[in-house]
Amino acid sequence: MPEALARTAPLDALGAEAKLTLNHIRAYGYLYTFGLVEEFILPFVLDHARPMLAQDDVRTRALLRFAMEEAKHIHLFRTFKREFEAGFGTRCEMIGPADQVASAVLAHHPLSVALLILQVEWMTQRHYLESIRDNNGLDEQFKSLLRHHWMEEAQHAQLDTLMVETIAAGCSVAEIDKAIDGYLEIGAMFDGAFRQQAAFDLDALQIKTGLQLGASQCEKAIAVQHQAMRWTYLGSGISHPNFLRSVEALSPARAVRLAEVAKAFN
Ligand SMILES: [Fe+2]
Ligand SMILES: [Fe+2]
């Protein structure tokens, strides 16, 4: 994982080798988390496409392709995940399970979910362009996976922008504001889960390396890693200018609020 996302450098209690092991655990978590979000993106996009089947041929085909690519990505991330598990040898506990996370997310207003997906799409763009594309320290195969994912996600960001606009066009101003608040609620749910994930990652690190960190060292490491995940999966998407532009078109006041919220996830 690029250090910009992994943030293992500030963990003074860890030597270079332990930092690298934690970096690998975070890379595994990255594969898992993308699989997790794509589990709810796929049914959501299909549901959105279905009512259009008889109406707009071009739009329907674009959305079906979007869904097909996400199905492929789920497979791709799972394949890499299995490879990691086979090579790493120590079990890394992950948040989830994916179907329960998908149900919790999909219970929200469609506009809340579409905004979450839009944030994920722009976040993926940002990760690749800012910290992966020109990074020569990464594993080539991992980098190749992320490059191929990024190539298709660029299209998804455009399609999801249209999806947000289409759903919002059928909503009242009050409904839009409520849906943006709903999006923030989903973000808060993930934020809590990422703190749990940071603790899981530290457990896996200690089992794998045999290291035994003291209570205050653990607390610090969890706080640093939680904040790293907040930036990776929340802040880098919420603060993306294109995402904020979409929100601003829906509700300028809520866009200001989201920009404020993003600061906590820096
Ligand atoms: Fe994807
Ligand atoms: Fe996507």
DSSP notation for 55-119: T-HHHHHHHHHHHHHHHHHHHHHHHHHHHHHHHH-S----S--HHHHHHHHHTS-HHHHHHHHHH
Dist CA 101 CA 95 (whole Å) = 9
Judge contact between 98 and 32, C-beta under 8 A: no
Count CB-CB contacts under 10 A for residue 121.
25
Q: Residue 56: is its pLDDT beyond 80?
A: no
Mean pLDDT for the chain? 95
pLDDT by residue (tens digit) across 17-44? 999 999 999 999 999 999 999 999 999 9
Alpha helices in the chain (DSSP H): 3-6, 16-49, 57-88, 98-106, 110-127, 140-169, 173-209, 215-230, 236-238, 241-250, 252-264
pTM, full prediction = 0.96
Cα–Cα distance measured from residue 224 to residue 87, given in angstroms and rounded to the nearest whole number: 27
Ligand 1 centroid, distance to 120 Cα (angstroms): 9
Q: Label residue 88 by pLDDT band (50, 70, 90).
A: very high
- Predicted confidence (pLDDT) per residue in 202-216, tens digit: 999 999 999 999 999
CA of 171 to the centre of ligand 1 (A): 27
Averaged over 172-182, what is the pLDDT? 98
Q: Is the pLDDT of residue 52 over 90?
A: no
- Looking up tokens 């506009």 gives 111
Q: Dig out the tokens for 121 from the structure.
A: 């799409």
Distance between CA atoms of 209 and 224, rounded to whole angstroms? 19
Say whether pLDDT at 57 is over 90.
Answer: no
**In angstroms, what is the span from residue 181 Cα to ligand 2's centroid?**
23
pLDDT in tens, 124-170: 999 999 999 999 999 999 999 999 999 998 889 999 999 999 999 99
Q: Which two tokens stand for residue 229?
A: 């995940």
260 C-alpha to ligand 2 centroid (Å) = 26
Residue 109 has pLDDT above 80, yes or no: yes
pLDDT value of residue 154: 86
Residue 95: its pLDDT value, please? 97
